[in-house]
Amino acid sequence: MYLKALEIQGFKSFPDKTVLNFGEDITAIVGPNGSGKSNISDAIRWVMGEQSAKGLRGAKMEDVIFGGTEKRAPVGFAQVTLVLDNTGHIFPTMEESEVAVTRRYYRSGESEYYINRQSVRLKDVTELFLDTGMGKEGYSIIGQGKIDEILSAKSGERREIFEEAAGISKFRHRKEDAERKLERTEENLVRINDKISELELQVEPLQDQAERAKKYLLLRDEMRVLEISVWLENLDELKADARKLESDFRAAEAARDEARAQLDALYAEGERYGRQMQEKDMEAEQVRAESAGLESRAQEQESAVAVLESAIAHNRENIERARTELMESDS
């Protein structure tokens, strides 16, 4: 018994996750019509890589996803995991004692394949089941009417079933792959021969081009030598000019420093003159103040003199009047 368990979720009539554990004593699953027995075999065939919706009793691959009922909403994906016992190493490439193959399909059309939870390609799943007798087209899954189909099938189709049962289908697939590779190689050889023939027609023109290219390379090398000579000569001239410019630059720096020193001296002298002018302005202001005071006192003295002169004149008038009166009294 290689089949250990089957996990189904969202596949056909299994909207919820359902786990079927197969023990050594299980030899058959029975039930009334419509109970989902065929859906279990479809799930096994599907997880093994079945790509035909018709082979799964559907019109399109989306039909494998639970479509909903009056009481249940549809789900977004279908997933089936097939757990197989590998203690007998029926899968030579797998060291694990248990191999779990998972397929998941979304309504958007995206498919995912996993082997022991590692993302793989459909080709990896197909090659895993080769020569194990458990392939999706092998004798391990026989549905209703499959016996009649086998008996009425063409000889080539029956041979595929017998090869799967005999364990040689892997070599047949490898042979077909090798033959396809040989055909592609032969086609590539034909294209290569055509390309060689085409290139042979271009040999003579290419030889002429090669001669011209060689001549061009020689002339280019000569031109580079001449260019280098010219550059060296120009470099010497540039070096001499640079030395002269450096000398002129240093002389200009010295003149600039001397002019800067003179300018600083002029600034210092100007500041000294400024301070002197400020002092003279202060002295002039003091002189103007003193002059104003003197003018004020002079005006006061002039006023006093005017008063005294007026008094003197008045006194003289009085004296003259007194003299006149005395003279008149004496006479």
* pLDDT, tens digit, 9 for 90 and up, residues 273-321: 888 888 888 888 888 888 888 888 888 888 888 888 888 888 888 888 8
**What is the b/e burial string over 132-142, where b = at least 16 CB atoms within 10 angstroms of the residue's CB?**
bbbbbbbebbe
Q: In this structure, are residues 22 and 4 in contact, taking their beta carbons and an 8 Å threshold? A: yes
In angstroms, the CA 77 to CA 10 distance is 6
Q: In this structure, are residues 21 and 82 in contact, taking their beta carbons and an 8 Å threshold? A: no
In angstroms, the CA 23 to CA 46 distance is 22
Write down the pLDDT at residue 159: 66
Q: pLDDT digits over 172-194, tens only? A: 666 777 888 888 898 888 888 88
Domains of the chain: 3-136 (3.40.50.300)
The widest CA-to-CA distance across the chain, in whole angstroms, is 204
Model confidence band, residue 139 (pLDDT cutoffs 50, 70, 90): very low
Model confidence band, residue 128 (pLDDT cutoffs 50, 70, 90): confident
Write down the pLDDT at residue 152: 65
Q: For 63-66, which contacts have Cβ atoms below 8 Å and span 24 or more sequence positions? A: 64/11, 64/12, 64/105, 65/10, 65/11, 65/105, 65/107, 66/10, 66/11, 66/12, 66/13, 66/14, 66/15
pLDDT above 90 coverage of the chain, percent: 19
pLDDT above 70 coverage of the chain, percent: 84
Distance of CA 159 to the CA centre of its chain: 55
Strand pairing category for 18-21 and 77-85: unpaired
Write down the pLDDT at residue 166: 54
- H/E run at residue 256: helix 203-330
Segment 19-28 shows an average pLDDT of 76
Q: pLDDT digits over 71-108, tens only? A: 899 999 999 999 998 888 888 888 888 999 999 999 99
Model confidence band, residue 121 (pLDDT cutoffs 50, 70, 90): very high
Write down the pLDDT at residue 331: 64
CA distances from 193 to 178, 189, 207 (A): 22, 6, 21
pTM of the model: 0.47
